[in-house]
Structure 1
Amino acid sequence: MKPIMHPASEKMLVAVVNNLPQSLLLTGAIGVGLGEISKYIASLRSVTPTIILPEKDEKIDLDKGIVSVDIMRRLYDETRTKAAGERIFIIDYAERMTGQAQNAFLKLLEEPGDGVYFILVSHSISKLLPTILSRTENLNMRSVSRKQSEELLDKLSVSDVKKRSQLLFMAEGLPAELTRLATNDDYFNKRSSIIRSARELLMGSTYQKMLIAQNYKDDRAATLLLLLDSTKILKKSIIDNPQIETIKRIEKILMAYQRIEENGNIRLCLARMVI
């Protein structure tokens, strides 16, 4: 099935597919649907791709797994086997590749097999080695338009005005995230809870803010969403009432986001941000 894409990004994608580079780096905002888009690229080449995902204890783990050097060694062996036609290997969550795994991938690029193509999927390319970035062609997928988001909600039969408003606040422009929120009540409730925490983080007392830091200290993924929601709330307030102080608050939150994304201590980073 064809994923929903911004028209400009779709045009670029078609051009790339017609002349597919050996290594393609697919980037974009979380929730834009990079995983589905990478598989769509393979389908346009009439190829069933092999998908590499993060693992922990030799099992796929999207929350805490990594793409290890052992996974890269298995990939190397697989690319050495002979096969008829093209083969496409999708490395999802490419930013989870360890340093050793990234170096192993570079060696793989030096000796590609015939008809072998790689698609790296990443929302955080700052974690990839500069040498990988220089040897891959980057295709950035833009967030879709408000109209496309509205049309998707129509297709998903979301008619309640309040629910539509909530969904668009959470994930306007992000079709994969919009679909998940609209079709998974548990996930929607979890995200709603995080947004409530984000509002409290911005407007609550110091005690309430420190309590949030305590509550989120063991969940890195939820903390990152908390900070993104906080910046989203502030950005919307800038439209109505532009203030330098608000911009400074956003910068402070983004700095905390970067530190936590780089495995900084969650409670300490949040505490520094709110004090």
Structure 2
Amino acid sequence: MSSEAVEGVTRAGTRRPRTWVMPLVVLILLGSLTAYVSSLELDSIETRSLASDLVVTALWEHIQLVVASTLLTISLGVPLGVLLTRPGLSRAGVIVLAVANASQAVPSIGVLVVLAMVFGVGFWMAVVALVLYALLPVLRNTMVGIRQVDPALIDAGRGMGMSSREVLFTIELPLAVPVMLAGIRVALILNVGVATLATFTNAGGLGSIISSGIALDRTPVLVVGSALTMALALTVDWLAGLAERVLRPRGI
């Protein structure tokens, strides 16, 4: 094999995935959904259930649920994960992770029902349930990312006269960013899927369209709700991938 061919293979092997693939998939999905609905003769119930204002409202409610729950999850998971990696709190980290694992092992609908019984229904109750369900990936990846930093680098920083705070923000957190971002990305996708259940606590979202399709035995309504949820999940994953590339420190 010539040197040019070897170089081409090497470049192809290190080339990053094309960023336009996922948007294209989403556009194809939405186009297919539009063509499917347009080919049907919807009855009055299906027409009312798929009215544009209702669909847009449900989509916007779903986005609000995902954004609010993800921001709260990051605000809680990252600082807590950092705190539990500090000397003297490593044992507590085992306990916290066990509790977080238990919260995710419980079915998401169970968490929603229990919280609804204790605190009532509504948007913020659903957000709390989503935070409890998505906290584990962020918390665990923050702890794993920091713990996997080479101790020699930390010792080198301390040898240069850095304080513990400076070592954390200059060495540990930058090197842990890729692992932390992977956990946040997982939490985002979890929230998009689990948020469909928020309709059972009067929090709206795309789950209201899906539940209407099931309750009314209308397949087109069910397909629209499910396809929009898939499209939103793919879009969120694509945006998270772009953010991961931008925020990842160079050379890592």
More strand by share: 1
Same-fold call, TM cutoff 0.5: no
- Higher-Rg member (1/2): 2
TM-score normalised by the chain length of structure 1 = 0.26
Would you tell me which structure has more helix in proportion to its own residues?
2
Higher RCO structure, 1 or 2 (CA under 8 Å, sep 6+): 2
